[in-house]
Amino acid sequence: MVLGFGLSIVSLMGMLALAGVVVNDSLILVEYANKKFEQGHSAMDAIKEACKRRVRPILLTTITTFCGLAPMVFETSRQAQFVVPMAVSLGFGILFTTLVC
């Protein structure tokens, strides 16, 4: 809405792709925590260690995804206007969900 795009089928497809990326980031974190828990760490220590160790891969995934989508988000040609709502949903959504998580 900030960029002037309404909700459309194409932006909903972007949100669906966003859900996949967010689930992937969550799996990276949870898988590492489970591995530490199985090695004998307490649940809280396993979660803390997973957060410390996996923040860099999650941030790199977020930043590279947004930077890859940025040219499409700010594209002005008429031919690209069909996919811009999807890129906006995915690009800004991934930034928001990373900050929230």
Provide DSSP, 32-82: HHHHHHHTT--HHHHHHHHHHHHHHHHHHHHHHHHHHHHHHHT---GGGTT
Cα–chain-centroid distance for residue 65? 8
pTM: 0.77
Q: Looking at residues 41-60, what average pLDDT do you find?
A: 91
CATH code for the part of the protein at 11-100 = 1.20.1640.10
The pLDDT assigned to 37 comes to 94
Average of pLDDT values for 31-45?
94
User: Does residue 34 carry a pLDDT above 90?
Assistant: yes
pLDDT of 63: 92
Domain ranges across the chain:
11-100
